[in-house]
Amino acid sequence: MSDAKLQAVLSSLSPAARQLDALPCDRPAPATDYIKLNTNENPFPLPTIVWQSAIAALERQYLYPEEDNISLREAAANAYGLTKDHVIAGNGSSELLGLIYRAFLAPGDSVAMISPGFSFNRKLAMLQGAQLLEIGTSEARSLPLEQLLLGPANNAKFILLANPNNPTGTFVPVADIECLLAQSNRLIVLDEAYVDFAPDNGLRLVSRYPNLLLLRTFSKSYAAAGIRVGFGFGHPELIGRLRNIQNVFNMNVVGHAIGTSILAHRAAYEENHQYIRHERQRVTTALAQLGFSVTPSYANFLLARVPEGKDGRWWQAALETQKILVAFFPDKSLGDCIRVSIGTETQMDAFLAAVGHISEILRSGRSRASRS
């Protein structure tokens, strides 16, 4: 296609995609000798019994998966004490987030999110032509109820809370969320992607409040990020509206089998979750000794403010030269932070050794400069 023709075609399309000025990231997956601590996966293999269910499912690869994910939704309903009409299953919870934006927002509407929050929401709001109101309570330990109930958030079509929050790892009391649900007539989307690493959860609120949509994923605490399994729980009227607009066959037979098997074997993950909590504390302490200021985390990652002198982007690049990947966010309030997932003990030892090594180089550079 000639350039002129391409430009004519592109400008004839709807403006939604044009708002996203950059092409999607097309960096290949890092080589396997990189330590990947940038996207909060769980570093352990699936329990053998769960793994076997995937192999069995592959024997049905020539058939379409079950329509509307009925067996998986039933299994989730049984596991979480709900009915299947309260449950929608997604190809990861990010699919469900996308459905919520498409179902409940029109161009010009607004949606509110605690800031800093899960950045994918910015893209979803933009694609919908909606305004994302970021309510600034950086690293707060409680909900800004007044701002959410009385400020511009009160006109938002829905309010997004992630608890624990990404990228801060902070956790607000479930009682605060219940207060908001009780006092607001807005839809509250409670994203509990990291809740299995936290002391409490909001599941008991689903049957009490028709204005709650609760999201869960098996990507973080159940080590299935590559399989793509997520759930939404809420009033059947809300869930039905989302199921109505969902793609047919949105999941595959392996996702169905692994999701169902995880639900039956959740107890097999207890040690995994205990390890993450323990390692999170060990790395927090070690990073503090290296001059980082770490936000107390209730998730499987740490938000660490880097020592004065260099910013988060610099540290991210320096660690990459040591084959360690961590996350950096260009937001103003996070410019001096990196976010580090909790990996295996060996991975975290390598990460801490690399941080120590880089700190040492910085220190010796500074003392050389002060001598000259």
Ligand X SMILES: Cc1ncc(COP(=O)(O)O)c(C=O)c1O
Question: Which one of 30-38, 91-99, 147-155, 363-371 is the stretch in contact with ligand X (CB under 6 A)?
Answer: 91-99
The single-letter DSSP state of residue 66 is P
Tokens at residue 50, please? 């769960």
**Taking each helix axis from N to C terminus, what angle separates 93-104 and 236-244, rounded to the nearest 10 degrees?**
90
Q: How far apart are CA 215 and CA 162, in angstroms?
A: 9
Q: Is 170 in the site for ligand X (CB under 6 A)?
A: no
Q: Is 329 in the site for ligand X (CB under 6 A)?
A: no
Q: How far apart are CA 234 and CA 209, in angstroms?
A: 8
* Contact residues for 346 (Cβ-Cβ < 8 A; gap 6+): none
DSSP sequence for 177-210: HHHHHHH--SEEEEE-TTGGGSS--SGGGTTT-T
Query: Of the two residues 191 and 196, which places its CB atom closer to ligand X in the complex?
Result: 191
The site string for ligand X over 191-210 (x = CB under 6 A, - otherwise) reads: x-x-----------------
Nearest approach in angstroms of CB 320 to ligand X is 20
The site string for ligand X over 220-239 (x = CB under 6 A, - otherwise) reads: -----x----x---------
Task: Select the residue interacting with ligand X from 92, 98, 234, 343 (CB under 6 A).
Answer: 92
* Contact residues for 22 (Cβ-Cβ < 8 A; gap 6+): none
Nearest approach in angstroms of CB 300 to ligand X is 10
Query: Of the two residues 64 and 120, which places its CB atom closer to ligand X in the complex?
Result: 120
Q: Is 93 in the site for ligand X (CB under 6 A)?
A: yes
Q: Which of 120, 46, 43 is nearest to 280 (CA)?
A: 43
- Residues numbered 9 to 48 that lie near ligand X (CB under 6 A) are 40
CA separation, residue 79 to residues 50, 60, 154, 215, 220 (Å): 16, 25, 34, 15, 18
Count residues near ligand X (CB under 6 A). 13
Query: Of the two residues 35 and 193, which places its CB atom closer to ligand X in the complex?
Result: 193
Task: Select the residue interacting with ligand X from 38, 53, 69, 94 (CB under 6 A).
Answer: 94
The size of the chain, in residues, is: 372
Helix or strand or coil: residue 197?
helix
Question: Which one of 60-68, 89-97, 241-249, 358-366 is the stretch in contact with ligand X (CB under 6 A)?
Answer: 89-97
Footprint on this chain of ligand X (rule: CB under 6 A): 40, 92-94, 118, 162, 166, 191, 193, 217, 219, 225, 230
